[in-house]
Amino acid sequence: MDPNFAELGSKWVCALPSTAPHLPLSFRLSSLPMRIIDTAHHISFSDQNTAPQYACIHQCKKVWWDVDFDDKPKDSCPMCGGDLVEAIEKVHFNVLYAANRDVRYKDIKKIMQIPQKEKLQIKQYFDIGAKLNNLSFIKPAFNEKARNEWCKSGSVLDDM
């Protein structure tokens, strides 16, 4: 299984800490690097300085950034295998919050109700200074749908 994907308690999450160095402060001030994104089935947190570039229009409805693909083809969703299209704000996603700073642990804690064990695991990323490329939580109302339709037996995560 890819170490960037994990099942934390009852929620599937995708945590992709960045290995890229932090951008110069002057660049940070001219962009909105921290974004909290709402989609049909997910809430995603990212330190990317752009809106998501791709949206799944199949089962999972997740958004993705270029950095999520590395050298992999961008023709299908890494989560459910569905078709990807160019992500359009207010069609495929809404920006819940954007700020001129990195995502903070308290941003996640404010929006998501997460069991203590999971909070500690996520907090460890922040404690080591990780930058989030894409931390995505399946909305609780869709946990069962995710397990039955696009995360069957964790196979999607094992294939990443």
What DSSP designation does 23 have? P
Q: And the tokens for 24?
A: 């110069």
Return d(Cα 65, Cα 69) in angstroms, integer.
8
Instruction: For residues 140 and 126, give the distance between their C-alpha atoms in angstroms, rounded to a whole number.
Output: 24
Residue 158 in domain:
no
Question: Quick check: is 22 in a domain?
Answer: no
In a domain, 28, yes or no: no
160 within domain boundaries: no
What's the number of domains the chain is made of?
1
Question: Within a domain: residue 20?
Answer: no
Q: Please indicate, yes or no, if residue 26 is contained in any of the structural domains.
A: no
Domain assignment present for 96: yes
Q: Which residues form the domain of 75?
A: 5-14+33-151
pTM across the whole model: 0.74
Q: Residue 50 domain-assigned?
A: yes
- How many Cα atoms are found within 13 Å in the side-chain-facing hemisphere of 23? 17
Give the tens place of pLDDT for each residue, 8-39: 333 344 433 333 333 332 233 334 578 999 99
